[in-house]
Amino acid sequence: MKAYFITGTDTGVGKTSITAGLAGSMRKMGIDVGVMKPIATGYPNKTGFKSSDVAKLVEATSTKDPENLINPVFLPLPTSPYDATKLLKLSVDMPLIFEQFKKLLSTHEMLLVEGIGGIMTPITKNFFVADMIKGMNIETIIVTRATIGTLNHTVMTCKICEDYGIKIRGLVINNFDEKGTPAEKNAAVTLYELTNIPILGTIPFIKDLHSLEKIIEYVDKNIDMKFLIS
């Protein structure tokens, strides 16, 4: 009954990939891992799930949990949840999200919840992803990148977590290129210096990421999994 909320410094930073990698790695350790994507937005896809993120998370865990438990809210427009609700004249059922969250939490040893966008992505005009994390009352893992601009985005994300009283377990630096720019090579050291948050590990840019095995392999090798499951 342990859970992490995986957020990121931005959309496209690698939340789904890292969550799938973490879930796959934990599963290999014999842990019963559940996954949740409380709110997803986007156009229809061919995965058999409303959200392609959900398809990836399900593949990583082979969970038998039904889609409406894993992903209680799907809004068919690739925007923030708030924009989607305005444009489609829909609403987000937050009580349902918290109800499904509790069910998943009570039926798995470990639950990994993937956020949407970043920490201040709006769900309604005055309810953000940060409020959802606060409501779930679980620790976060922040996925960030190493390229220039990451110091600003990561420090801001950590600052918001601090303001909300959200505990951060650690940072995962994704898409790291060891032959990258000086800013990139220095990112882990400087991010730790500025935030004092543990760096759980770095994951390089992986050429053939379509293979789930590849990301699991890197997560096993590069992420401090013992610290995460303890």
Ligand X SMILES: Nc1ncnc2c1ncn2[C@@H]1O[C@H](COP(=O)(O)OP(=O)(O)O)[C@@H](O)[C@H]1O
Closest Cα partner for 121 from 19, 16, 9, 37? 9
**Residue with structure tokens 């996925």?**
143
Name the phi and psi angles at 171, rounded to 5: -110, 145
Q: Using the rule CB under 5 A, which residue among 7, 9, 16, 71 binds Mg ion? A: 16
Determine the length of the chain: 230
CB 130 within 8 A of CB 158: no
The C-alpha torsion from 76 through 82 and 83 to 84, rounded to 10°, is 10
With CB under 5 to 8 Å by kind, the binding choice for 205 among ligand X, Mg ion, none is ligand X
Alpha helix segments (H runs only) across 176-211: 182-195
14 vs 170, beta carbon nearer ligand X: 14
Minimum gap (Å) between residue 50 Cβ and ligand X:
15
136 vs 146, beta carbon nearer ligand X: 146
Instruction: Give the C-alpha separation, 1 to 34, whole Å.
Output: 10
Residues 155-194 that bind ligand X (CB under 6 A): 174-175
Catalytic residue among 15, 37, 50, 56: 37
Positive/negative CA dihedral, 52, 43, 98, 125: positive
User: Applying CB under 6 A, which part among 9-17, 38-46, 91-99, 163-171 lies near ligand X?
Assistant: 9-17
53 vs 196, beta carbon nearer ligand X: 53
Q: Using the rule CB under 6 A, which residue among 3, 13, 73, 141 binds ligand X? A: 13
User: Applying CB under 6 A, which part among 60-68, 165-173, 177-185, 201-209 lies near ligand X?
Assistant: 201-209
Tokens coding 158: 């950590």
User: Applying CB under 6 A, which part among 6-14, 39-47, 122-130, 159-167 lies near ligand X?
Assistant: 6-14
Q: Which residues bind ligand X (CB under 6 A)?
A: 8, 11-17, 174-175, 203, 205-206, 209
> Which residue numbers are catalytic?
37
